[in-house]
Structure 1
């Protein structure tokens, strides 16, 4: 009986291009980095980010519901990425993970139409303001 060795480069299923991404969680100390396949969907990347964040014991505690979060790419604009888009289709490797804002209270006016009172936020500003502020920081020379 002969024993055969399997080589690592002989895989049964084709693997697409893989690359390292960096996801900054708003309010956390540093980015989360992990390798993804370019055909990975955005919602799967959010799920992996939340699991890695929890596994590392980071603060603040975020939770695990993928539907409560949005993934942004600050380079591409201010629109959140769609959950069904492929992460490799953007050509970037740095992303930002934010919690979705929740509607505060719904008030019914005299005419019977519901009106949202406002949005609740735990932080003092949006991720866009934080990002712009971090770009404007100047390091003084000694």
Structure 2
């Protein structure tokens, strides 16, 4: 159940290297979207944040014309979790290098009903 590893064109930038430390220039993340088959694999910079990862995953999913079609492609409508069983979502401004995992679960935020 593999997939393509892609980097959105907006995130493809040259990386400056320094000799004083050997850090990975990009990290590979696997994100499963609720109700979809397989994972989205995306390369991101360690300095990017959770919001950037959500946006990149949605762009790749939509560009790949994957099924089922997403009800909404606005990154602000989604939460990123460590797993489908985790109730706590990650903070949008959290740096990817600080997360401690490379596998995540993306789901729509619950709708607020106005009653």
TM-score class normalised by the smaller sequence: 0.7 to 0.9
- Greater RCO, CA 8 A, separation 6+: 2
Flag the structure with larger Rg: 1
- Per the TM alignment, residue 79 of structure 1 is displaced from its structure 2 partner at its CA by 1.0
- In structure 2, the partner of 1:19 is 27
Runs of 4+ in 1 over 2 A off after TM superposition: 11-17
Structure 1: stretches of 5+ with no match in the other structure? 1-10, 107-142
Deviations 1:27-73 (A, max 9, x none): 00111001111111110110000000001111222232111000011
Q: Paired residues, what number?
A: 96
TM norm structure 1: 0.60
Is 1:84 aligned to residue 60 of structure 2? no
Counterpart Cα distance in 2 of 1:14 and 1:81: 29
TM norm structure 2: 0.73
Counterpart Cα distance in 1 of 2:50 and 2:77: 13
How well do the aligned residues superpose, as a CA RMSD in angstroms?
Answer: 2.3
Counterpart Cα distance in 2 of 1:67 and 1:12: 28
